[in-house]
Structure 1
Amino acid sequence: MTGTATTPTIVIVHGAWTDASSFTGVQHLLTEQGYQVLEFANPLRSFVGDADYLATFLKTRTSGPVVLVGHSYGGAVIGAAAAATDTVTGLVYVNAFVPAEGESLLDLLNSAGPVDPSKLFDMAPYPGAPEGDLDLYIQRGPFEPAFATGLSEELQAEFFAKQRPITFSAVGAPAAAGQAWEKLPSWYVAGTVDGSVPLPLQLRMAERAGSTVTQVETGHLSMVTHPREVADVIIAAATSGDVA
């Protein structure tokens, strides 16, 4: 168990097409400041299942207050999981989705402009999939402009090679009632040149959630390109007067 009565544990939840290593720079900066940091291995299999898994992780791997950090799809997961626990005291969204009841990630993206999955993703069957479900991998062509903007060619190649797929059903599943951002304080890191989650959509979701917004001139992987700015926002959340 980690965490104390006064200092929150930082639990980081990565999004689709990457893994916990995308937050390595942020984790190092937080650890240097004395924070306990846990990085959740997001299954990326189903919205409800991933949120339930995170809620169980929080109950078994932490004690005391928790600040939850979610990137991209991870933002949707933390909003659902935190509603099922009573230890989360703040939410930090990093280029993230913040759905309201009934909204899916696809709904939110289409509200910002039509999305054609066939032009973005390679789709692959996976064992045990529900009928019609598929794994989604970002195609090589749109990988840099949509996902890896601002990364060196070497890092682009690395992230493309190790991308972890998400299921089509996970991005199409609607959020349940009672999202945690409706009650908890939140902070939002918005990438101004994000090719995955357009800035106007990021700002609209952040405003609806009442989040404290920090805009950073970066693409979708702001925690990779600007770890200091992201870490600073997490520290602000962890030291806020709203955190017991």
Structure 2
Amino acid sequence: MDWQSPSWSTLTASQSNLVQKSKKPGNKGVTTMAKPTIVGVHGAWHSAAHFLPLKENLAQYGYKFIAVLLPSMHYAELKCPPPIHIKEDVEAIQTAILTELNDYPATDVVVLTHSYGGMPGSAAVENLDKNSRKAAGFSNGISALLAISSLLVNEGISGFDLGNKTVPPTIILSKIPSPVDNNMDIEISMPNPEPGPTTTFYHDLPQKDAEHYASLLVPHVWTVYCTPVPFAGFKVVPTYYLLTEDDKSLPPEWQRLIIKMADEVTLHGKIVVDTIHASHSPFLSKVDETATWIRRSLGEKF
């Protein structure tokens, strides 16, 4: 992002209904819900491995954590063609959510997003929120959206739109040969080596740890970031935002602006905001505090 005031609109894209692939639960009388399963959606260049410390922390309190690999970064590992649209990321998240909802009809799902993951993660809520699921005859659904330093945009808006259609200074673009078509190139983004991801994302981690997590970063297909989101889930489910006050990737003033603009279009009530003095990656540098925020957001009292 260019740190100028972003363009924002409430344009409504035509929304195609998610085909409800769920199987009807065998026991429709289930009323007591277990602790929700947390479905984690990583940010640009990141992976499930970056969520591992948080996953292990939450496990001791009885939370199941599933981290989704997004095709816009992990297409090779997932053995699929490089996507050109955000819908492939959205569908990957929805598939993980629906599998969990189908397999455990007494358990809700909450979606935890980080950074870019806020866009496909929020979009994945479409038709899977509690009210929509109840109308379709199911007892469980997505009960909340938890956003850590996340991009939350209205439907019809892309990340590129949010940044005034400019490439953020923390990003560099390049082209690589397409793995499926030798006559085509793919435009990808990576963190700018100056000052580098150890500074941009992990400056409050020990240097050795910062270098380790930086080594796990992979390219992100740029066109995915530039395509509009089809749905804004923060408008229909309770949403909680962890604002990172020492963030060198998405500065706190930008996060506050994102929250303000999201509040202007939400249908569910204002976003609940908590702050933490941390870098862009508090799930690595302040694991206990991040886990505590999640647990409190989900209703635990302690």
TM range (shorter): 0.7 to 0.9
CA deviation digits over 1:77-134, x for unaligned, max 9? Answer: 11100113231010000111101122211222348xx5456x7325231324796641
Q: Which residue of 2 aligns with 1:206?
A: 259
Quick check: which one's helix share is greater? 1
- TM-score normalised to structure 1 length: 0.86
Match of 1:192 in 2: 245
Which residue of the other structure, out of 70, 74, 84, is the alignment partner of 2:113?
A: 70
Q: In 2, are the aligned partners of 1:186 and 1:237 still within 8 Å (CA)?
A: no
Distance 1:52 1:26 in 2: 24
Alignment of 1:50 with 2:110, yes or no, is: no
Matched length: 234
Change in Cα spacing, 1:236 to 1:140, as seen in structure 2 (3 Å) is same
What pairs up with 1:154-165 in 2 under 5 angstroms?
154-165=208-219
Which protein shows a greater Rg?
A: 2
Structure 2, unaligned stretches of length 5 or more? Answer: 1-31, 73-82, 134-140, 264-269
Q: Is the 8 A contact 1:149 1:194 kept in 2?
A: no
CA shift in 2, pair 1:101/1:230, >3 Å: same
Q: Choose from 292, 299, 302 the match for 1:232.
A: 292
Matches within 5 A, 1:4-83: 5-44=33-72, 45=83, 46-62=85-101, 63=104, 64-83=107-126
When residues 120 and 179 of structure 1 are mapped into structure 2, their CA distance, relative to the original with a 3 A threshold, is closer
**Structure 1 SS opposite 2:126:** helix
Larger RCO, structure (CA 8 Å, separation 6 or more): 1
d(CA) in 2 for partners of 1:233, 1:167: 31
Matches of 2:247 and 2:47, distance apart in 1: 18
- Is the 2:246–2:278 Cα contact (8 Å) retained in structure 1? yes
1:121 and 2:172 are equivalent in the alignment = yes
Q: Which moved more, 1:156-165 or 1:85-94?
A: 156-165
Which stretches of structure 1, 4 residues or longer, exceed 4 Å deviation after superposition? 129-132
Residues 148-197 of structure 1: CA distance to partner in whole angstroms, max 9, x if unpaired?
A: 32222212322222202211111111122x41111110111111121221
User: In structure 2, what residue type is equivalent to 1:107?
Assistant: D
| Alignment partners' CA distance in 1, 2:278 and 2:236 | 29
Percent of paired sites with the same residue: 23
Which 10-residue stretch deviates more, 132-141 or 182-191?
A: 132-141
Q: Distance in 1 between the 2:93 and 2:250 partners?
A: 23
